[in-house]
Amino acid sequence: MLYILYIIYGIIGGLAGYLFLTNNTLLLLFNYIFNTENVYDKNLLIFINLGIILGFGIIYIKNFLNKIKSLLKAKIKKKDKKKIKEKKLKKNNKAILIIAGIYFISFIISKKYTLKALNPKIIGLYCIINGILLFLIRKNNGTKEEKEMRFKTIALIILGNIISNFFSFNNLIVTFFICILSNFKLKVAFKYSLCIYVTSLVSFTFLNVNNLLATFTLFYLPYYLIALLTASITSIYYFKSFEEKLIKKQFRYFIVVNLVLGIFSLVYFR
């Protein structure tokens, strides 16, 4: 029975980003409804985070290797090297590294003051806010590419995510909303949002390594590994579906799920 419970934990953790929620908020909501024991198990969250990171890593490593193969096959003339270098610089991919680096530091600092357990009503409210934000941006086409990332947008993304940290609000929706308001294309907005989301997972894991080393027992290792594996598989599946639905502007699904989950939580825990 305990194995089944941890499989469910892994699936919920892997689906959290798909619903624009954080792992701990969705797991807390599940625990509140079914009265399970692990109300706030940081070690479980660490393994689920590692599973999600592994899932994204598998996807991106494949894409990364394909890019390397294409570069090795291409014969670049010396005259073209300068032009290619200038073109790459214009894309300004450094912006995503700057955002991730600053956000990592801010996460470590702000999480010391973050709410450690949320009232289920607040979780329901977060779902409704997600639905409203997605409804507001559902018709935005976006025209800007990555190379147009400005300092103002970087500052807004970092500030918005620092504030969201204090309330355990999902940074995925915060970054996505800011990028869309800045007129970025959906694909670019998704890339930045995903970067921040993965950075938050890495940051949480880094922040709680000491807790893992101090409280970890071998008894729970098989259960944690099962949660890690299921979270990884779930994240791989939802990542592909998630990107496809966003690019095709199929926001209705995300809006309906968030609103239904939010209203259910508010009514159930009234």
Tens of pLDDT, residues 122-147: 888 889 998 998 888 877 767 776 65
Q: Write down the pTM of the prediction.
A: 0.80
Q: Is pLDDT above 80 for 93?
A: no
| pLDDT confidence bin for 66, thresholds 50/70/90 | low
Give dist(CA 149, CA 147) in Å, integer: 6
Q: Is pLDDT above 60 for 82?
A: no
CA torsion sign for 40, 117, 179, 207 is negative
Give dist(CA 110, CA 165) in Å, integer: 7
3-state percent breakdown (helix, strand, coil) of the chain, nearest 5:
80, 0, 15
CA torsion sign for 197, 203, 208, 213 is positive
Q: Which residues pair with 144 in a beta bridge?
A: 184
In the structure encoding, which two tokens stand for residue 60, read together? 């991106």
What is the domain extent for residue 210?
2-268
pLDDT score for 117 = 59
Total structural domains within the chain: 1
pLDDT score for 161 = 85
Provide the angle, in degrees to the nearest 10, between the axes of the packed helices 42-73 and 186-207.
Answer: 130
What amino acid is encoded at 183 in this protein?
Answer: N
Q: Is pLDDT above 60 for 65?
A: yes
Closest C-alpha to 95, from 142, 140, 152: 152
Write the secondary structure of 98-111 as one string of H (helix), E (strand) and C (coil): HHHHHHHHHHHHHH
What confidence tens digit (pLDDT) does each residue in 194-240 have? Answer: 888 888 888 888 888 887 878 888 888 899 999 999 999 998 887 77
